[in-house]
């Protein structure tokens, strides 16, 4: 299993990433639509392969939904059918879309752009509880929105604090400058957001088992591994052998 013990009472989970654009698995550098660095084929095949390799969770990014604002519910249902819990993001910008993704089979729904609306944030946190995850996507210290095509004036620390006050139970923190680059995680950003006191899953730049150990030791409860797995930097079997 890829859920590893961290300390005495919590687990560290590695989430293999399935990013989908135009019906195919891709990896994008820094989230740029025109910068495809990996073409990984059928997302349903990938989900089944990760399941067979021992994954505990899947991290699904609906890039078409992120860019268009309309989630791809058939994609969610298909990946969830592999039999693993799935956390999904991309285009989930209102309560109806979140509920639809959960109804389609997702275990957790990721919201990014919509989380900047305080009223929405309180409502969604109250309604969905632990099934809601706020994606804190950060570019140069500020939150990136609308499929990372724009940068807001809200800082990562401000959004994390707002999430805590609204009752959000988990954050996914991505350094957009490092996403898809294999440049290593932004430990300073992760430490900053961990200061809000919420569980954090790290994303962006993970390139090695040492990077996974570093974010675990920092206090993150998990990490998303995308390009590192797709480019063969490590396997899910390697992850399962991480020392506690």
Q: Residue 244: pLDDT band by 50, 70, 90 thresholds?
A: very low
Task: Select which of 19, 64, 179, 211 is catalytic.
Answer: 19
Element spanning 38, H or E = strand 36-41
178-207 tens-digit pLDDT? 987 899 999 999 999 999 999 999 999 999
105-114 tens-digit pLDDT? 999 999 998 9
pLDDT above 70 for 214: yes
Q: Residue 148: pLDDT band by 50, 70, 90 thresholds?
A: confident
For the residues 46-66, what does the mean pLDDT come to?
A: 94
Do 46 and 61 meet the contact criterion of CB atoms below 8 Å apart?
no
pLDDT of the residue at 181: 85
Out of 41-55, 81-95, 139-153, pick the least confident: 139-153
43-53 tens-digit pLDDT? 999 999 999 99
User: Known catalytic residue: 210?
Assistant: no
Task: Select which of 137, 179, 186, 211 is catalytic.
Answer: 137
- What domains can you pick out in the chain, each with its CATH number? 3-240 (3.20.20.70)
E-only strand ranges, 48-102: 58-62, 86-89
Burial letters for 129-162: b for 16+ Cβ neighbours within 10 Å, e otherwise?
eebbbbbbbbbeebbbbebbeebbebebbebbbb
User: Known catalytic residue: 52?
Assistant: no
pLDDT of the residue at 36: 54
pLDDT above 50 for 4: no
Question: What does pTM read for this prediction?
Answer: 0.90
Do 242 and 211 meet the contact criterion of CB atoms below 8 Å apart?
no
């Amino acid at each position: 299993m890829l859920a590893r013990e961290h300390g005495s009472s919590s687990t560290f989970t590695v989430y293999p990433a399935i990013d989908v654009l135009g019906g195919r698995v891709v990896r994008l550098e820094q989230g740029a639509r025109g910068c495809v660095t990996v073409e990984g084929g059928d997302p349903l095949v990938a989900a089944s392969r990760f399941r067979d390799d021992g994954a505990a969770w899947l991290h699904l990014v609906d890039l078409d939904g992120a860019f268009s604002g309309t989630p791809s519910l058939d994609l969610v249902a298909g990946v969830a059918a592999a039999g693993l819990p799935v956390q999904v993001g991309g285009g989930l910008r209102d309560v109806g879309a979140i509920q639809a993704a959960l109804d389609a089979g997702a275990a957790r729904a990721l919201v990014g752009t919509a989380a900047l609306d305080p009223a929405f944030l309180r409502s969604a946190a109250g309604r969905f509880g632990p099934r809601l995850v706020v994606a804190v996507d950060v570019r140069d210290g500020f939150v990136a929105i609308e499929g990372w095509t724009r940068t807001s004036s809200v800082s990562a620390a401000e959004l994390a604090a707002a999430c805590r006050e609204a009752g959000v139970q988990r954050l996914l923190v991505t350094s957009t400058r490092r996403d898809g680059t294999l440049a290593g995680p932004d430990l300073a950003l992760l430490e900053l957001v961990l200061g809000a006191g919420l569980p954090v899953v790290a994303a962006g730049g993970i390139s090695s088992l040492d990077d996974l150990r570093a974010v675990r030791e920092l206090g993150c409860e998990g990490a998303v591994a995308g390009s590192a797995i797709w480019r063969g930097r490590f396997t899910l079997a390697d992850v399962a052998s991480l020392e506690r």
